[in-house]
Amino acid sequence: MTTERRGTDPREFAFSARGVSKTFGHFRALVGAHLTVRRGTVHALLGGNGSGKSTFIKCLAGVYGADAGELSIKGETLDLAAVSPDTAHALGLRFVHQDLGLFPQLSIAENVALGLGYPTRWTAVREKALQQHAQRLIDTFEIDARPTTRVADLRPSQRAMLAIARALDDAESSDSILLLDEPTAALGEHDAQDLMHAIRRRADEGQTIVLVSHRFNEISAVADDVTVFRDGRNAGSGPIADMPLSQVVSLMTGDEAREMPASYLVHSPGPISLAVDGLDVGTCRDASFDVGTGEVLGFAGLDGSGHSDALAGLFGALSSRARAVTLEGADFRPRSPEQAMAQGAAFIPQDRHSDAAFANLSITQNLSVTILDRIWNGFALSGSREHEAAADTIDRFSIRAASAEAPLGVLSGGNQQKVILGRWLQRSPRLLLLVEPTQGVDVVARHDIYTSIAAAARAGATVLVASSDVDELLAITHRIAIFRGGRVAAVLPTASATRDEITNAMLAEESVDA
């Protein structure tokens, strides 16, 4: 199955990239991959973590120099190895990468200007014009902030929306091609739906869009065509109407698809382990709940409802107050992550790039940071112990990497997440706090992560999972606490809860709670 259908006018195509190869050391990230995209369509690029999707996008952008390949666009064919970021921009290619490319310490307006250029007059910056332009973007994309707001002060979903708005603002012409690499990875479900509607409207108006995503409901809602990568190669392409989910999963896994069971949990929780009374932290207000030993309690809520802040507060990553918090009968009020770790807690934040990953350090070093006490031999860190522990964790969590000494940053998003989860599960935590644990993770890696979470709970850990993915919560939790307006509005047993019931509880009018 190929993208170019017989009898189709070549002028219908926006671009074609063929024979694209890229090697990092001994790891072949792309092996003769190809992608052909029709004008005025949304073309979905799918594949498992490590399949080469992001590397392919970065080769098109000139961020990585391809080892081989050619790009046909606007009536000319170029050697892809010679394409630079400036060349890609001149060809009308516009990108939003997974790392967003924002500067946290600068304002929204300044980040917009860095993308499009500062408005000037006689070499002086026209500050008013810059602020007005940024405000128009903020209004159009409904970002709850001001042009002077620092990007560091935005929520992850707002940062993603800003990066997308900046790219879309620079892609007014229907001749331009917008390539989005996991644009909704940091967004809640409803923000993601709004973005998908905007993408579909632009395609209907003639914009060509390539969309990398792991969310199948997004793809089926907006895509015209789909291409699947596996092991750095094109595994199949075609119209979305001819590519049902079962076929896409089969192409992603090479006919080794693993069935996603209704629930990953086969055990019942034990007695109450964590009891929280009146927790105030961030946007979380007066939240009270309890969790049993071995229980997985899900937290659901819209952005700003407090469900993510509650977990950060319990780990001491955000300042918090509470009438009482106990873990296994003892007072539990860590004032810092260090104190939380000492009491048996572990935490995976939503933004792994900024808050959890040491991208330039090796996989081994990333895994070692939570077990330094175990690899200390009395005089120094033991290299043999460190490498032995890393090898064991890499094997246990099926982390795919060319070498344990490879920098974490070169791994796919799913493998990075496995490293971060494995880092904490090495410690056999009593309390495991997870925010969006499978954000930007494909269906196969997601299975592995769910299995690891269920195993930790079965071994006796108390687990809290805050997620915007309702299907995720239905798969890996015993109960689901619904946050609304900063408070726990309802707690539903997962076994009898429905997707509609959870969504309706999240969206209920605030007046109901009054």
CATH of the domain at 196: 3.40.50.300
Based on the domain organization, do 52 and 87 belong to the same domain? yes
pTM value is: 0.64
Q: Which residues of the chain have pLDDT under 50?
A: 1-8, 257-261, 509-514
Q: Based on the domain organization, do 25 and 166 belong to the same domain?
A: no
Check residue 420 and give its pLDDT: 93
Examine the domain organization and report whether 459 and 478 are in the same domain: yes
Q: What is the pLDDT of residue 1?
A: 43
Residue 98 lies in a domain: no
Q: Are residues 74 and 187 in the same domain?
A: yes
**Residue listed under structure tokens 């946290």:** 104
Total number of domains in the chain: 4
Same domain, 376 and 465: no
Is residue 132 one of the residues assigned to a domain? yes
Name, in order, each residue with C-beta under 8 angstroms of 243's C-beta and a sequence gap of 6 or more.
226, 236
Q: Is there a single domain that holds both residue 289 and residue 315?
A: yes
Instruction: Say which amino acid occupies 503.
Output: T
Whole domain around residue 189: which residue ranges?
Answer: 1-92+172-255
Do 8 and 143 fall into the same domain?
A: no
Closest CA to 358 of 347, 349, 369, 348: 369
Q: What is the largest CA-CA distance in the chain?
A: 72
pLDDT of residue 379: 82
CB 265 within 8 A of CB 422: no
> 472 and 327, same structural domain?
yes
pLDDT at 101: 81
| DSSP per-residue string spanning 346-391 | EEE-S-HHHHT--TTSBHHHHHHTT-TTTSB-SSSB-HHHHHHHHH
In a domain, 350, yes or no: no
- Rounded Cα gap, residues 410 and 362, in angstroms: 10
Residue 97 lies inside a defined structural domain of this protein: no
Tell me: do 132 and 221 sit in the same domain: no
Q: Are residues 339 and 293 in the same domain?
A: yes
Q: Look up residue 76 and give its two tokens.
A: 């000319």
Residue 352 lies in a domain: no
Residues 59 and 165 in one domain: no
DSSP one-letter string for 34-74: EEEEETT-EEEEEE-TTSSHHHHHHHHHTSS--SEEEEEET
